[in-house]
Amino acid sequence: MKKAFLVILISLAFIINPSANGPVVIIGGETIMIDAKYQGVLISGLYDFTINNKHIDVKKNNEVRVNDLIVEIDGEEVSDCDDIYRLLANYQNDTNQIPAIVKRDNQLVSTFITTYYESESQTFKTGFYIKDSINGTGTLTYYNHENKSYGALGHEIIEKTTGEIAEITNGDIFKASVLSINKSFVNEPGEKISQSNGILLGDIKIINQFGMFGHYYGNVTNKPIEIGRKEDVHTGSAKIATVIRGNEVEYFDIIITKVNKQNSASTKSFEFKVVDQNLLNNTGGIIQGMSGSPIIQDDKLIGAVTHMILQQPENGHGLYIEWMLQQSQQLVKIG
């Protein structure tokens, strides 16, 4: 039997408002752009180079590794790439070994960064690529009018260049439009190609395996929808709400094929298959950028899209909306 591989799909979901019939949320489905910040500066790759007529093998001549998060250099805290350039530029010997602290496998490790200075050009090289933020496309799913919060994603954020979970502390979300679609094929996940118009919609305060959560500043025009409990979810017909062109939220038919009994918060709550021919024609099934797209069954919001199955792009996994709502309640404590 072949092993089924899953693709995590960065996208955003939309919290609880009491009503006579039960708790409700404002349903989303709109496309957003994510701009999230690392807890330091990430080393996303290494490269060899030649300087002062000498070839440098970076892996042999450095103690840092790909996916290390630089948090301190020579006793000074590092928060962005500008800090790295400013601090390392102070060392102008041909070869410099500079003390540093990195976060590696959830532990702080004392190490050093080796730099090479070229006096003629007055520049230095390290041999590694760095980044202090991560960007992606998302899809709003629910909004809590009472505390102006949103829930998002249904899973953690994955750094594309390393394939590891991105250690994010904060960030912002912006309004965006879908310009085009790269379709999914077997073993080739597609994606939404989107563009932000720069309008700030909210902040990012919590990111974990159940999604992304923060405060929402944008205007809300969509209608409320009742929350479906995990016990309400069953196999059979349902719909997902998402954008595949411009800013128009559309609803597409799916079939929920398997429901997992979960008594405590866990990922991959249920499985589904896209059966809407319009969506299949345009996207090939599930694509990156759909994560968090709301899933509706029996006129209730029951969950959010989280993963596609790589060998069967029309098939995916969803997360019970209850687990996301539990997480977003922490925003009341954070403020």
What string of DSSP letters covers 220-284?
Answer: --SPEEEEPPGGG--SEEEEEEEESSBT-EEEEEEEEEEE---SS--S--EEEEE--HHHHHHHS
Structure tokens at 121: 């050009």
CA dihedral 151, 218, 167, 25 (to 10 degrees): 0
Supply the pLDDT for residue 84. Answer: 94
The amino acid sitting at 47 is: Y
Domain 6-38+134-334 class, CATH top level: mainly beta
Supply the pLDDT for residue 16. Answer: 43
The matching CATH number, chosen from 2.30.42, 1.10.3470, 2.20.28, 2.60.200, for 48-126 is 2.30.42
Sequence ranges of the domains in the chain: 6-38+134-334, 48-126
What string of DSSP letters covers 80-129?
Answer: SHHHHHHHHTT--SSEEEEEEEEEETTEEEEEEEEEEEETTTTEEE-SEE
Pairing status of strand 224-227 against strand 300-309? parallel
How far lies 241's CA from each of 81, 106, 160, 166, 262, in Å? 37, 36, 26, 27, 24
Q: Residue 307: which of 1, 37, 4, 3 has the closest Cα? A: 4
CA dihedral 213, 214, 215, 216 (to 10 degrees): -60
Supply the pLDDT for residue 288. Answer: 93
Mean pLDDT, contiguous 10-residue spans, the chain (335 residues): 49 42 81 90 92 86 86 94 94 93 92 90 91 89 84 80 76 94 95 92 90 87 90 97 95 98 92 98 96 96 94 96 87 60
